[in-house]
Structure 1
Amino acid sequence: MLTITLSIFIPFLAAIFIPFIYKRIQNRHIGWFVIIVPIALFIFLASFIPSIANGSTYMHTIRWIDSAGIHFATYLDGLSLIFALLITGVGSLVILYSIYYLSERESLGRFYVYLLLFMGAMLGVVLSDNLMMLYVFWELTSISSFLLIAFWYHRKKSRYGAQKSMLITVSGGIAMLAGFIMLQSLTGSFSVREIVATIGQYTDEPLFLWAMLLVLLGAFTKSAQFPFHIWLPDAMEAPTPVSAYLHSATMVKAGIYLVARFTPIFGGEAVWFYTVSGVGLFTLLVGSFNAVKQTDLKALLAYSTVSQLGLVMSLFGLGSVALQHGYSPDSVIYTQATFAALFHLINHSTFKGALFMVVGIVDHELGTRDIRRLGGLMAFMPITFTIALIGSFSMAGLPPFNGFLSKEMFFEALVNARNLEVFSTGTVGTLFLVVAWIASVFTFVYSMIIVFQTFFGEFHPERVEKPSSEASFGMLVAPSVLAIFVVGIFFFPNVVGNYLLRPAMTAIYPSFAGAEGLVPHIKAWHGFNPALWMTIGVIILGTILYKLIKYWRGVYTIAPLRWNLDTAFNAGLTWLEGGSHFITRMYMKGYLKDYLVYIFTFFIVAVGGSILWTGSYSFDFTDNSPIAINEFLIVLAMAGAALAMIFAKSRMTAIILNGVLGYSIALLFVVFRAPDLALTQTVVETVTTALFLLCFYFLPEWKKERSARKTKIMNGIIALSAGTIVTVLALAVQGNKMFESISVYFEDAYLLAGGKNIVNTILGDFRAFDTMLEVVVLFIAGIGVFTLIKLKTGKEDKDIEDQ
Structure 2
Amino acid sequence: MSLLHSAILIPLAWAVLMPLLGRRLGNLHAGWLVLPIPIVLFVYFCMQLPLVSSQTMMETLPWMPSIGLDFTVYLDGLSLMFALLISGIGVLVVLYSTFYLDKNKEAIISFYTYLLIFMGAMLGIVLSDNLIVLYGFWELTSISSFLLIAFWHQRQKSQYGAQKSMLITVFGGLAMLAGIILLYVMTGTFSTREIISQVAHLADDPLFVPALVLILLGAFTKSAQFPFHIWLPDAMEAPTPVSAYLHSATMVKAGLYLVARLTPVFAVQEQWFWLISGVGLVTLIYGSLQAIKQKDLKAMLAYSTISQLGLIMCLLGLGSAAVLNPDGAGGEMYAKATVAALFHLLNHAMFKGALFMVVGIVDHETGTRDLRKLGGLMALMPVTFTIAVIGAGSMAGLPPFNGFLSKEMFFTAVLQIRQMSIGHLSAWGGLVPVMAWIASVFTFIYSMVLLTRTFGGKLQSDQLEVQPHEAPMGLLFSPVVLASLVIVTGLFPNLLGAALVEPAMEAIHPTLLSAGERFDVHLQYWHGWTPEIWMTIGVAAVGTGGVLLYRRLKLQNRLWSNALNANLLYDGGLRLLDGLSRQMTDRYMTGSIRRYLIYIFVFFIGALGITLLWAGEIGWTEMELASASAYETIVVCVMVGAALAIPWIKSRIAAILVTGAVGYMVTLLFVLYRAPDLALTQMIVETVSVALFLMCFYHLPKSDLASSASRGKWLNLAIAGGAGLIVTLIVIAASGPRNFESISNFFVQESYRLGGGKNMVNVILVDFRGFDTLLEITVLGIASIGIYSMIRLRLAETKQRGKIEGNRLPLNRMSNYRSNDVILKTISKVVVFIIVAFSLYLFLAGHNNPGGGFIGALMTSAALVLLAVAFGLDVIEKVLPINFRLLTAAGLLIAALTGVGSFLFNVPFLSHTFGHFELPLLGDTELATAVLFDLGVYLAVVGVTMTIILTIGKEER
C-alpha distance in structure 1 between counterparts of 2:667 and 2:518, whole Å: 81
Amino acid at match of 1:38: P
**What is the percent sequence identity of the aligned residues?**
54
Q: Cα distance 1:45–1:655, how it changes in 2: closer, same or farther (>3 A)?
A: closer
Q: Given the superposition, is the C-alpha separation of residues 192 and 781 from structure 1 closer, same or farther in structure 2, using an over 3 Å criterion?
A: closer
The correspondence of residues 168-247 of structure 1 with structure 2, limited to 5 A, is 168-247=168-247
1:608-619 matched pairs, under 5 angstroms: 608-612=609-613, 614=614, 616-619=616-619
State the partner residue of 1:746: 747
Partners of 1:32 and 1:523 in 2: CA distance = 40
Q: Is residue 279–residue 314 contact of structure 1 (8 Å, CA) maintained in 2?
A: yes
Distance 1:555 1:473 in 2: 35
Contact 1:283 1:307 (8 Å CA) reproduced: yes
* Matched letter for residue 604 of structure 1: I
Of stretches 399-408 and 717-726 in structure 1, the one that deviates more from structure 2 is: 717-726
Alpha-carbon distance in structure 2 between the residues aligned to 1:183 and 1:702:
59
**Per-residue CA shift, 1:673-730, capped at 9, x if unaligned?**
5465455544544554455456656755441364445444444333333333333343
| 1:521 CA drift (Å) | 2.3
Question: Could you tell me which amino acid in structure 2 is paired with residue 597 of structure 1?
Answer: I
| Correspondence for 1:762 | 764
What is the match of residue 598 of structure 1?
599
- The verdict on how the C-alpha distance between 1:450 and 1:517 changes in structure 2, with shifts beyond 3 A counting, is farther
Cα distance between partner residues in 2 of 1:658 and 1:111:
51
CA distance, structure 2, for counterparts of residue 696 and residue 473 of structure 1:
66
What secondary structure sits across from 1:13 in the alignment?
helix
TM-score under structure 1 length normalisation: 0.92
The answer to whether residue 525 in structure 2 is matched with residue 524 in structure 1 is: yes
Asked if the contact 2:498/2:521 (under 8 Å) is kept, the reply is no
Q: Secondary structure at the match of 1:435?
A: helix
Q: Which residue of 1 aligns with 2:111?
A: 111
Q: What's the CA shift for 1:412?
A: 0.7
On the 8 A contact 2:376/2:459 being kept in 1, the answer is yes
Map Cα deviations across residues 722-763 of structure 1 (whole Å, 9 max, x no partner). Answer: 333333343334335233233333333455545444434433
In structure 1, give the amino acid aligned to 2:652: R
Confirm whether residue 164 of structure 1 aligns to residue 164 of structure 2: yes
Distance (whole Å) between structure 2 residues aligned to residue 709 and residue 647 of structure 1? 12
Q: Distance in 2 between matches of 1:347 and 1:489?
A: 8
Letter in 2 for 1:318: L
* Matched residue type, 1:574: R
Contact 1:616-1:732 within 8 A present in 2 as well: no
Q: Once structures 1 and 2 are overlaid, which stretch shifts more, 622-631 or 592-601?
A: 622-631
Equivalent residue for 1:473? 473
The whole-number CA distance in structure 2 between the counterparts of 1:789 and 1:266 is 53
d(CA) in 1 for partners of 2:657, 2:234: 61
Deviates more, 1:472-481 or 1:11-20: 11-20
Deviates more, 1:253-262 or 1:644-653: 644-653
Q: Does 1:723 find its partner at 2:732?
A: no
Match of 1:582?
A: 583
8 Å Cα contact 1:2-1:60 kept in structure 2: yes
**Partner residue in 2 for 1:38:** 38
SS of the aligned residue for 1:63 comes to strand
CA contact (8 A) 2:649 2:706 kept: no
Q: 1:694 to 1:77 in 2, by over 3 A?
A: closer
Shift of 1:303: 0.2
- What's the CA shift string for 1:266-324, capped at 9, x where partnerless? 11210100011111001101111100100001100000000000000000000001112
5 Å-filtered alignment, 1:312-391, equals 312-391=312-391
- Are the aligned partners of 1:332 and 1:518 in contact in 2 as well (CA < 8 Å)? no
Equivalent positions of 1:16-55 (< 5 A) are 16-53=16-53, 55=54
Distance between the aligned counterparts of 1:789 and 1:468, measured in 2?
48
Q: Does 1:539 align with 2:547?
A: no
SS in 2 for 1:153: coil
Q: 1:441 and 2:441 equivalent?
A: yes
Could you tell me whether the CA contact under 8 Å between 1:512 and 1:518 is conserved in 2? Answer: no
Sort the Cα spacing of 1:426 and 1:692 in 2 relative to 1 into closer, same or farther, 3 A: closer
Give the aligned partner of residue 97 of structure 1.
96
Contact 1:617/1:729, CA 8 A, preserved across alignment: no
User: Is the Cα contact below 8 Å between 1:332 and 1:517 reproduced in 2?
Assistant: no
The code of the aligned residue for 2:296 comes to: D
Secondary structure of 1:448 counterpart: helix
**Worse overlay, 771-780 or 644-653:** 771-780
Shift of residue 240, structure 1, vs aligned partner: 0.9
Q: Do the aligned residues in 2 keep the contact of 1:601 with 1:718 (CA within 8 Å)?
A: yes
Question: Within 2, Cα distance between the matches of 1:751 and 1:44?
Answer: 43
Equivalences for 1:287-686 in 2 at 5 Å?
287-513=287-513, 518-550=519-551, 552-553=553-554, 556=557, 561-612=562-613, 614=614, 616-625=616-625, 627-628=627-628, 630=630, 634-669=635-670, 672=673, 674=675, 677-678=678-679, 680-686=681-687
Asked if structure 2 preserves the Cα contact closer than 8 Å seen for 1:374 and 1:459, the reply is yes
Q: Which moved more, 1:9-18 or 1:80-89?
A: 9-18
Q: Output one character per residue of 1:490-520: Cα deviation in whole Å (capped at 9) or x when no partner.
A: 2111121112111111111112236989444
The residue identity in structure 2 corresponding to 1:60 is E
Change beyond 3 A, Cα 1:692–1:505: closer
Q: Does the 8 Å CA contact 1:248/1:350 hold for their aligned counterparts?
A: no
Alpha-carbon distance in 2 for matches of 1:45, 1:504: 14
> Residue 371 of structure 1 aligns to a residue in which SS?
coil
Report the counterpart of residue 63 of structure 1 in structure 2.
Answer: 62
Aligned residue identity for 1:583: M
Which deviations, in whole Å up to 9, do the C-alpha atoms of 1:534-586 show, x marking residues without a partner? 22222222222222234554685689543211121122222222222211111
Contact 1:556 1:562 in 2 (8 A): no
Question: What whole-Å deviation, never above 9, does each CA across 1:360-383 have from its counterpart, x for those lacking one?
Answer: 111111111111111121122222
Aligned to 1:76: 75
Q: What is the CA–CA distance in structure 2 between the aligned matches of 1:653 and 1:217, rounded to whole Å?
A: 59
Q: What secondary structure is seen at the aligned counterpart in 1 of 2:246?
A: helix
What is the 5 A alignment of 1:249-288?
Answer: 249-288=249-288
| Residues 1:733 and 1:2: Cα distance change in structure 2 (over 3 Å) | closer
C-alpha offsets along residues 118-141 of structure 1, whole Å, 9 cap, x if unaligned?
Answer: 222211211122222212221111
What whole-Å deviation, never above 9, does each CA across 1:400-427 have from its counterpart, x for those lacking one? 1111111111011111011211141423
Structure 2 stretches lacking a partner, 5+ long: 812-957
Q: 1:773 to 1:733 in 2, by over 3 A?
A: closer
Checking the alignment, whether the CA contact within 8 Å between 1:505 and 1:519 is kept in structure 2 is no
Tell me the distance in 2 between the aligned counterparts of 1:652 and 1:22.
51
What is the CA–CA distance in structure 1 between the aligned matches of 2:31 and 2:230, rounded to whole Å?
A: 32
Provide the rounded CA distance (Å) in 1 between the counterparts of 2:90 and 2:467: 30
Q: Is the 8 A contact 1:746 1:758 kept in 2?
A: yes
> For 2:20 and 2:691, how far apart are their aligned partners in 1?
45
1:720 aligned partner, one-letter code: G
The Cα shift of 1:478 comes to 1.5
Alpha-carbon distance in 1 for matches of 2:292, 2:643:
75
Instruction: Tell me the distance in 1 between the aligned counterparts of 2:387 and 2:598.
Output: 68
Does the 8 A contact of 2:650 with 2:706 survive in 1?
Answer: no
Deviation at 1:208, TM superposition (A): 1.8
Number of residues of Structure 1 aligned to a counterpart in Structure 2: 800
Q: Is the 8 A contact 1:293 1:553 kept in 2?
A: no
Secondary structure of 2:258's counterpart equals helix
Task: Tell me the TM-score normalized by structure 2.
Answer: 0.78
